[in-house]
Amino acid sequence: MLTSSALVLMMTAPGLAMFYGGLVRKKNVLSVIMQCITLMGLMSVIWALYGYSLSFGGAAAWIGNDQYLLMRGVQATWDEATNASVIPLHDTLPIPMLTHMLFQGMFFIITPALICGAFAERMKFSAMVIFSILWGTIVYCPLCHWVWDGGILAYGSESAKTFSAGGALDFAGGTVVHISSGISALVCALVLGKRLGYGSQPMPPHNLTYTALGAGLLWVGWFGFNAGSALAADGIAASAFAATHFSAAAGALSWAGLEWIMRGKPTVLGASSGAVAGLVCITPAAGFVLPMPAIFMGALAGVVCCLACSLLKNKLGYDDSLDAFGVHGIGGTLGALLTGVFATRAVWDISLKGEKLGLLEGGPVLTAQAIATGVTWIMAAVVTLVLLKLIDWTIGLRVTENNERQGLDLTEHGEEGYIFL
């Protein structure tokens, strides 16, 4: 679990930092990397102070409580009666509370970092910091509690009876991480507006080598993300690992293959983006589906996300700078729904009663998956819109036109990514 935690942290930096950093223009590469590194520090501290408690404290249906505030009940304590150290253990898992807290905290870090791809090259650094704090508190923590701590969307939870269809399946973050960040990314892109010159001048990635290396690091880190979510070294973890790998592989092939058909040449960017799309799609399903259906899921994700990042984006005219919505919002939604089709008790009998899960084995969870997806879309979109409007009204969201033309590396951070003497 500790190794998985380290792998997930690696996904933010250097993984996502390189993936996103290569996609922007060279005058903005440091700004994107700085956002990722800052969020590694900022969200870690928030998680320790109150985020973990809001997400996993108590047994309420809607939000956690102060049970783990300031890491109370998570850190080791000294028992005067026994004259010995007491290491708090998880209630239902054979691991220390601190291990669970650290692992889940890495998800809290990367989720707002994914949103940064939508407003890259034009949002104030100060606005990004405030938005991430508020978004993590008001969007991520409740969603995490709803899905993973017995809340209103959790499978098998009494609270899930809020909806007649019952709870949804989300093994590693299809709703909590990818749909929430992807939908929020779309709202960010719409509220901030397009980059100067978008649509009238070329804005190609400045370093696809970075992007390809970042995609490789994300692929490896995702094994900690998905297989680690089994919270044990067992058959479910092995199946999740295999499903994750095959979905990524199929996604890389299908996206690049579609480019080959449509444009005459497969690209490194397409293969890299396709791998990430496959990884996103399999995230909610990894511990519930067999490895063979995962190949189909990844291949479909590569095609659907490719079309979303090209045809849909061009048709609607929004400027999602690095396609956070097209990959994470669309890919996460697709994965959540396909989980309701392919989930099988053969991989994980989560009910412990042999209850059928996915549509193909006659189970009912597809309806619950659709409800959870819809709830996440609405919640993330509405809260993100309100937060952005409040920040814009107070300190402003967007850098000045002059600063945007110069690049955020110099104007926001006083540095340059490339200095050739």
Position 161 scores a pLDDT of 55
pLDDT tier for residue 72 given thresholds of 50, 70 and 90: very high
Q: What is the pLDDT of residues 222-254, one digit of tens each?
A: 999 999 999 999 999 999 999 999 999 999 999
Going by the DSSP 8-state scheme, the letter that residue 351 receives in this structure is: T
Q: What is the pLDDT of residues 120-178, one digit of tens each?
A: 999 999 999 999 999 999 999 999 999 999 999 999 776 655 555 568 999 999 999 99
Q: What is the distance between the alpha carbons of residues 260 and 376, in angstroms, rounded to a whole number?
A: 34
Q: Phi/psi at 123 (nearest 5 deg)?
A: -95, 140
Is 376 buried (19+), middle (13-18) or exposed (0-12) by CB count in 10 A?
A: buried
Position 165 scores a pLDDT of 58
Position 387 scores a pLDDT of 99
Cβ atoms of 166 and 364 within 8 Å: the answer is: yes
Domain 2-75+85-413 has CATH 1.10.3430.10: yes
Residue 3 has pLDDT above 90, yes or no: yes
Q: Is 102 helix (H, G, I), strand (E, B) or coil?
A: helix
- pTM > 0.75: yes or no: yes
Q: What is the distance between the alpha carbons of residues 93 and 395, in angstroms, rounded to a whole number?
A: 44
pLDDT tier for residue 29 given thresholds of 50, 70 and 90: very high
Cβ atoms of 274 and 330 within 8 Å: the answer is: no
Q: What is the pLDDT of residues 188-206, one digit of tens each?
A: 999 999 999 998 999 999 9
Query: Which residues share a beta bridge with 201?
Result: 198
Q: What value does the CA radius of gyration of the chain take, rounded to a whole number of Å?
A: 21
Q: Phi/psi at 38 (nearest 5 deg)?
A: -60, -45
What percent of the chain is modeled with pLDDT above 90?
Answer: 92
Position 352 scores a pLDDT of 87
Could you state, in order of their start, the residue ranges of all structural domains in the chain?
A: 2-75+85-413
Average per-residue pLDDT for the chain:
95
pLDDT tier for residue 273 given thresholds of 50, 70 and 90: very high
Helix (H) or strand (E) holding 133: helix 125-135
Position 164 scores a pLDDT of 53
Is 268 buried (19+), middle (13-18) or exposed (0-12) by CB count in 10 A?
A: middle
